[in-house]
């Protein structure tokens, strides 16, 4: 006998089935910047969401608006340890993503990427459910090609100070592909290019948050190197649309798939735009370029366009205005 849900999404089905008639989704790293926005999108879709995070870089404030929602559950857990839950699909986003955070404990960063992937893949294999891996453009290292296509193998220093993150994510991709080939596991791999927006940590050391916080405080804006290195900035809402489109795609589309905005800006371009939006009088100051810092980032998004029908919609000026508003409010409160 089949039971169906009524309009009250919090209402449970009879114990004869023991399941909800809606998809139960696990999001690791769900209290982070991107993870929390993904939780929002999944709740909006009608999913039941199990958010797992050890709160090393994630924050309860990112998910506090969801804590009383009948279809949301938060579990504090480190993915380097096995997790035994029942879900219908998995998004694996657990890993510190900013240099300041992932270099704080590089051994733990590598363990999170590699052991976390092993534990989540093992869970997906046991449950026979699809699993999504949030990888990164950092797998391309300091590229020697102006446009990074998924077929490019990268130029990564395996023993540098960024290697814990770069190589950890590369190893995670290897594990995902091997589980797919060996166990026929339904996998999706996305390579995330620079993403920004509300809920970024104000002290994560990333260029967008650095520039905005410094500008709002009228402090000098710190540019590393000569400021001519480039990045391509994707607003969080566009990225989350890409996540969902990839997860919804045919099983044959495993990725890796670049998701990012291909419009390229120098660090000086970004600083000037932040100064214009904030009306700040902050001067620009220059410092040495950190070791292995990529000089260029620009995604080839042909695969995302052709196979997912995805394109970024929010351009940098519009996204920065929304992000500046978020940080302006944040700095009035706990980060004043």
Write down the pLDDT at residue 334. 61
Residues involved in catalysis: 165
pLDDT tens by residue, 215-269 = 999 999 999 989 999 999 999 999 999 999 999 999 999 999 999 999 999 999 9
Q: How sure is the predictor about 96, in pLDDT bands with cuts at 50, 70 and 90?
A: confident
In a domain, 336, yes or no: no
Token reading at 265 = 């800006």
Give Cβ neighbours of residue 258 (< 8 Å, ≥ 6 apart).
137, 148, 149, 150, 190, 191, 193, 299, 300, 301, 303, 304
**pLDDT at 116 exceeding the cut of 50:** yes
Rounded to an integer, what distance in angstroms lies between the CA atom of residue 109 and that of residue 94?
A: 10
Residue 322 CB neighbours (<10 A): 15
Q: How sure is the predictor about 2, in pLDDT bands with cuts at 50, 70 and 90?
A: very low
Residue 106 CB neighbours (<10 A): 15
Tally the domains of the chain.
1
Q: Is-contact 39 65, C-beta < 8 A?
A: no
Q: How sure is the predictor about 294, in pLDDT bands with cuts at 50, 70 and 90?
A: confident
In a domain, 6, yes or no: no
In a domain, 119, yes or no: yes
pLDDT tens by residue, 184-205 = 999 999 999 999 999 998 888 8
In a domain, 13, yes or no: no
In a domain, 227, yes or no: yes
Give the mean model confidence (pLDDT) for residues 29-56.
97
In a domain, 218, yes or no: yes
pLDDT tens by residue, 299-332 = 999 999 999 999 999 999 999 999 999 999 998 8
Residue 123 phi, psi dihedral angles, 5° rounding: -65, -45
**pLDDT at 8 exceeding the cut of 70:** no
**pLDDT at 163 exceeding the cut of 80:** yes
In a domain, 127, yes or no: yes
Rounded to an integer, what distance in angstroms lies between the CA atom of residue 131 and that of residue 123?
A: 9
Q: Which burial class, exposed, middle or buried, applies to 273 when counting CB atoms under 10 A from its CB (0-12, 13-18, 19+)?
A: middle
- Helices and strands (H, E) in the chain, number of each type: 9, 13
In a domain, 168, yes or no: yes
Q: Is-contact 196 33, C-beta < 8 A?
A: no
User: Which of 103-112, 136-145, 170-179 shows the lowest per-residue confidence on average (mean pLDDT)?
Assistant: 103-112
Peptide bond into 247 cis (omega under 30): no
- Residue % of the chain over a pLDDT of 90: 77
Output the domain CATH number for residue 238.
Answer: 3.40.50.720
Strands (E) located in 47-97: 48-53, 72-76, 89-92
Q: Is-contact 223 285, C-beta < 8 A?
A: yes
Q: How sure is the predictor about 29, in pLDDT bands with cuts at 50, 70 and 90?
A: very high
What residues make up the domain containing 257? 24-331
Q: How sure is the predictor about 17, in pLDDT bands with cuts at 50, 70 and 90?
A: very low
Which residues make beta-bridge pairs with 221? Answer: 284
DSSP state at residue 62: G
Q: Contacts by 150-153 with C-beta closer than 8 Å and gap 24+?
A: 150/191, 150/255, 150/256, 150/257, 150/258, 150/300, 150/303
Angstrom CA distances, 109 to 35, 39, 196, stand at: 17, 23, 21
Give the mean model confidence (pLDDT) for residues 168-185.
98
pLDDT tens by residue, 265-291 = 999 999 999 999 999 999 999 988 877
**pLDDT at 210 exceeding the cut of 90:** yes
């Amino acid at each position: 006998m089949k039971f169906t849900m009524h309009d009250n999404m919090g209402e449970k089905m009879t114990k004869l089935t023991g399941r909800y008639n809606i998809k139960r989704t696990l999001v690791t790293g769900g209290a982070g910047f991107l993870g929390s926005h993904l939780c929002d999108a999944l709740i909006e879709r009608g999913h039941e969401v199990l958010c797992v995070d050890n709160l090393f870089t994630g924050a309860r404030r990112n998910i506090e608006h969801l804590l009383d929602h009948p279809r949301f559950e938060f579990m504090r857990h480190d993915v380097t340890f096995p997790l035994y839950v029942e879900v219908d699909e998995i998004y694996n986003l657990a890993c510190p993503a900013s240099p300041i955070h992932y270099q704080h404990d590089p051994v733990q960063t590598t363990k999170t990427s590699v052991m976390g992937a092993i534990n989540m893949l093992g869970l997906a294999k046991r449950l026979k459910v699809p699993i999504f891996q949030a990888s990164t453009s950092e797998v391309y290292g300091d590229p020697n090609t102006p446009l990074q296509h998924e077929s490019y193998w990268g130029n990564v220093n395996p023993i540098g100070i960024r290697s814990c993150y770069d190589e950890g994510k590369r190893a995670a991709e290897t594990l995902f592909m091997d589980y797919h080939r060996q166990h026929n596991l339904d996998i999706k791999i996305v390579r995330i290019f620079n993403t920004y927006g509300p809920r970024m940590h104000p002290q994560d050391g990333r260029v967008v948050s650095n520039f905005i916080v410094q500008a709002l405080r009228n402090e000098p804006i710190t540019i590393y190197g000569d400021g001519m290195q480039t990045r391509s900035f994707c607003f969080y809402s566009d990225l989350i649309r890409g996540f969902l489109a990839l997860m919804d795609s045919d099983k044959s589309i495993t990725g890796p798939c670049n998701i990012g905005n291909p419009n390229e800006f120098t660090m000086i371009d970004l600083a000037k735009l932040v100064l214009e939006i904030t009306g700040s009088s902050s001067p620009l100051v220059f410092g040495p370029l950190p070791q292995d810092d990529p000089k260029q980032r620009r995604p080839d998004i042909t695969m995302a366009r052709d196979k997912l029908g995805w394109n970024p919609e929010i351009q940098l000026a519009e996204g920065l205005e929304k992000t500046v508003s978020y940080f302006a409010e944040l700095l009035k409160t706990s980060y004043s």
